[in-house]
Amino acid sequence: MKIAFLGTGIMGGHMAGHLLAAGHELTVFNRTRSKAEALISRGARWAESPRLAAEGQDVLISIVGMPDDVQEVYMGEQGVFGASDPPEVVIDMTTSTPTLARTLAEAATARGIASIDAPVSGGPVGAESASLSIMVGGDTDAVARVWSLFESMGKTVIHQGGPGYGQHTKMVNQILLAGSMIGLAESMAYAEAAGLDPAKVISSIRDGAAGSRALTDFGPKILKGDFTPGFYAKHYLKDLGIALDEAARMDLKLPMLALVQGFYDRICRQGLNQCGTHVLSAVMAADQGSEQASRALSGLKSAGQ
């Protein structure tokens, strides 16, 4: 297929690379061209705007930062929907709002285009290894036409329902992650306060009932003081806000989620928005009086992370 790919950052660069490897003809756009150079060197064509990237393509895929970015990419002055010869199918893989996914689907339908929302989980490691979980919302026929593209980028691909259902499923994922992150942070704080060796503790519990991806992936990084992002704290704060807004629309109260959002709001206001989500552990440890965690946070702030 002829595919336009918008957003070639920490996730999109790997995902687009898998499509190139599968033999598709790729046109790319990113706000910072340097992040697309690796794909261009492999044969991808560069476009100067989302609209120009969309021209004459079979499919367009986007994975950008925030819902406002999604809206600009599709409906802005140089957006995809301004193309004179638009793609037959557009797929937004950004974690965005179910409401915006439905709005995009309506706008696309009015232009004779099929729109799919397909957010992902698995982080940069999953993107690089093509083992992402892809949560798909959209028209059944349109989804079937691009299914092979999803299989090139992910391992678990499930069609959840109509427009917006992929985004709703991603919110379920982010709510579960919130519980994992605060549980990890509190458990590590307890281990330190009790005088345990945290590395031994992780080895003891990771394969038991309390084991989780958060513990396996982030536990060793926390012990090393490595808070480089696989997923930015600022993006997770965005997701928590989306989940709480959608819950409010359904008259659903999620007290744990609201608590975790408060922590990430503080993390971002303290200038740690560029850190990985697991920086929550250091923040909670510092709150408990850990000098080591306090020094680590001071260093992160000084470095502008």
The catalytically annotated residue of 155, 170, 224, 253 is 170
Q: Distance (Å, rounded) from C-alpha 18 to C-alpha 99?
A: 29
Token digits for 297?
């946070």
Residue 293 CB neighbour total at 10 angstroms:
23
Q: Identify the residue whose tokens are 């299914």.
A: 147
By DSSP bridging, strand 59-62 and strand 2-6 are parallel
Active site residue 234: no
* Whole-number Cα distances in Å, 169 to 49, 136, 280: 30, 9, 24
**Helix 198-205 / helix 213-224 crossing angle, nearest 10 deg:** 170
User: Does the CA dihedral 290-230-62-120 come out positive or negative?
Assistant: negative
- Contact between 157 and 126 under an 8 Å Cβ cutoff? The reply is no
32 exposure class (CB count in 10 Å sphere: 0-12, 13-18, 19+): exposed
**Residues tagged active-site:** 170
